[in-house]
A and B are shown apart, each in its own frame.
Chain A
């Protein structure tokens, strides 16, 4: 199976000889005869399967789930976390940018909470290092929960059920730190292991179709895997969105991205490379949700991040591969509620 020759009738085989010379320099070796990763050999693959289980306290997770769905965490009980992070909507909200409590639209697209713990930093700009810090900020954010502990804690403490479950789950009972920890525990439990691609990585060669395997090979060969890598297929580094900018079209983005966190000029328009896990069910795409279809998102990636437009066939194969990244939550493959159309 050839990798490079899919679009045009480009002679790849000769090129491979040259590539072999410089293999040491190449991050992802382009190899015409890309061997199937053998069982347990995924160490050398840029993507790592999600662990099949987490060792979390079931009581704390259950408590966190309840809190996650509890509107009392917001002022006037307007929103719960699940208002925007819907578990039946791929962990997001399905809209480009969620409406804020104040009536406008949020600056950025809602990221999925599935596999969120596998990210090394949180938010599109990487502004948070821990889930606890993120939840604390979400509760205080006027655009999200618009609340504070003086509002939240008494409401929770008025609920005898919470008080008793907290007392059994935590030595300290119902406290700010424990609320945050419970929320984080629940989110840590939101991993989606056992995607078909993970099965493939674990050695099940039949888990992927030939096209999907080709899609993966292209994903690596085109260099997508230089940014989208690791267990979460992204989520562990930052990149400018638009490395190869169209000189004629200046960047239209208002969002300064990571610059708003670091203040460093070089971080303008830099965003966290998002995880591509479950990407098929987390549309719309990009930090502002500007793209609805995965094909467009991939296409845009190729031109902007790789400086090499893809042929529709290549896009198709890659998208097919991206679909294999959809994993299971509580034994169920993630799906959108009204998926018949897509």
Chain B
């Protein structure tokens, strides 16, 4: 299975989408918004100051114009802040706000132009008013003496001017102009009169202009522009926030989808892992089974080889035994006859010896032979007997066993009988233990053969023990797993080297040649066990001891003993 590209693509895609949504769902720059509001506030404050100071200036209560310049600078400062943010901000921001900033900027410039005109005109107006009123008064007091008409004209003019200053009306301004023109015509020689006329004209010209400028200034669209800008940014940020909100919801949804997909993948993974685990266990079980079967097969093969070996040997032995036995019987019989013959002949020979002295018999002096010949005959007899025993054993081993007596038997009983047989051979110094399990299932088989098996094994064990002491344990038990009965014979003897353990059951294999072992005992035992469908296995640790285990299968229908019955 290669890399799961499709799934990888889906997850990567979802992650990319998440990142995109995350970026989009950020709240609009609140800092910038705050700065804009702050700046607009500052702008409004300066604008208000400007309007206030313009009014103060018109009323003659502003000693100088510096505060107006400061207020204008304040407006420009705020404006520059807005303009620079507009330049650096996002396109969307510029699209939403930029136009309003431009509008505001234009409004400020227009207002500044108006302001400059107002400052200039207002200064002139202030001066001219001062001059007019002052000169007018001077003239009226001066001319009282010389010219009544002029004095009256000045009085009317001053009166009109006062009215005009209070409320500038076109009618009044016309009235003043006419009066001024009359004076110009009258007598301009008089210096002060000239001043009066000059400033009178200026007032009439400029005062309405100043008031007009004042009105324009106060009505300048800066306030509306600021409001529009604030509304626009409010709307912009509202929209941005709403959009961010939408993206946030989308973000949430995509996150949920991603999560669901991951959970789905995880579950699949887990299912796969479970399947894999199951397949694994099955596989392992199969492998175990197979190794077990293989082992069994090998065991069976070994057993088969062993059995074949036995059979071949048995056939051979059966044939040879007879051929040996006959001559051997002859030898034995002849040896007995010879012994009797020597006994009879000895009497004669004795006499002869006494009479004739020493003589040779069989190439040796009689005095010597007298002792030796009976021993020789005895040896002959003994040798023949030994041959007979071996041949009998061989016959025993090779005897074509009639199908064993298939009786139901209790293993423990067979063991007891074997123990009875051997009782006298078990030395007192030996620690002999018997542990028989109760309630063993009965077996089908030949009691005598089982008994012989146990006897052979115990005999072997006893022979393995050292001169003094040692322990032999005989035990039986039921093996639930394989449904068979085990008979163990353990000794704490010298043990058997590993290479010999495998050959123990081979015929003629013996380590006790000197003690007269034939090497057939265990071979026979093995054959007997095999005949019962069982097995015989040795385990040994040199120097510690050996355990022989006989396993005898229980018949399939035999009742399984209750567990507690297993306890010994």
Point out residues on A near B: beta carbons under 8 Å: 4, 10-11, 14-15, 18-19, 22, 24-28, 30, 43-48, 120, 129, 223, 226-227, 229-231, 236-240, 243-244, 262, 264, 266, 270, 306-308
Contact = CB atoms under 8 A, between A and B. Distances in A.
A223 B131 contact: yes
Interface string B521-549: 00000000000000000000000000000
Nearest to A129: B76
27 contacts: A4-B134, A10-B138, A11-B141, A15-B134, A15-B138, A15-B141, A18-B134, A18-B136, A19-B130, A22-B129, A25-B130, A25-B133, A26-B130, A27-B130, A28-B130, A30-B130, A44-B63, A129-B76, A226-B124, A226-B127, A227-B123, A229-B65, A230-B64, A236-B64, A236-B69, A236-B119, A239-B124
Contacts of A231: 64, 66
B72 interface: yes
Contacts of B124: 226, 239, 243
Contacts of B73: 120
A46 B124 CA distance: 15
A25 B124 CA distance: 12
B63 A307 contact: no
A100 B76 CA distance: 33
Contacts of A10: 138
Contact of A237 (B116, B138, B202): B116
B203 to A, nearest CB: 10
Contacts, number: 112
Given A46-B64, A231-B66, A306 B127 contact: yes
Contact of B133 (A4, A18, A308): A18
Q: Would you call the interface of chain A mostly helix, strand, loop, or mixed?
A: loop
Contact of A223 (B59, B113, B130, B133): B130
Nearest to A222: B127
B137 interface: yes
Given A15-B138, A25-B129, A30-B130, A239 B198 contact: no
A26 B119 contact: no
B120 interface: yes
B63 A43 contact: yes
A129 B76 CA distance: 10
B165 interface: yes
Q: Would you call the interface of chain B mostly helix, strand, loop, or mixed?
A: helix
Given A129-B76, A226-B126, A238-B120, A307 B131 contact: yes
Interface string B118-151: 0110011011011101101110010000000000
A271 B198 CA distance: 22
Contacts of B127: 27, 223, 226, 306
B85 interface: no
B199 A307 contact: yes
B349 to A, nearest CB: 148
Nearest to B166: A25
A237 B120 contact: yes
B9 to A, nearest CB: 47
A120 B69 contact: yes
Given A15-B138, A120-B72, A229-B64, A223 B116 contact: no
Contacts of B60: 24-27
B253 to A, nearest CB: 46
Contact of A307 (B116, B119, B141, B195): B195
Max chain A Cβ within 10 angstroms of own Cβ: one of B68, B73, B116, B141: B116
B552 to A, nearest CB: 102
B117 interface: yes
A31 to B, nearest CB: 12
Max chain A Cβ within 10 angstroms of own Cβ: one of B60, B65, B73, B202: B65
A237 B119 contact: yes
Given A18-B134, A229-B66, A239-B124, 10 more contacts: A11-B138, A19-B137, A25-B126, A27-B60, A47-B64, A120-B72, A236-B64, A236-B66, A236-B68, A237-B119
A179 B120 CA distance: 35
A262 B133 CA distance: 35
A245 to B, nearest CB: 10
Contacts of B64: 46-48, 229-231, 236
Contacts of A24: 59-60
A120 B112 CA distance: 12
Nearest to B119: A237
A308 B195 contact: yes
A276 B536 CA distance: 136
Max chain B Cβ within 10 angstroms of own Cβ: one of A14, A238, A244, A270: A244
B133 A22 contact: yes
Contacts of A226: 123-124, 126-127
B137 to A, nearest CB: 4
Contacts of A47: 64
A30 B65 CA distance: 20
Nearest to A120: B69
A260 to B, nearest CB: 15
Nearest to B130: A26
A236 B119 CA distance: 9
Contacts of A227: 123
A19 B134 contact: yes
Nearest to B73: A120
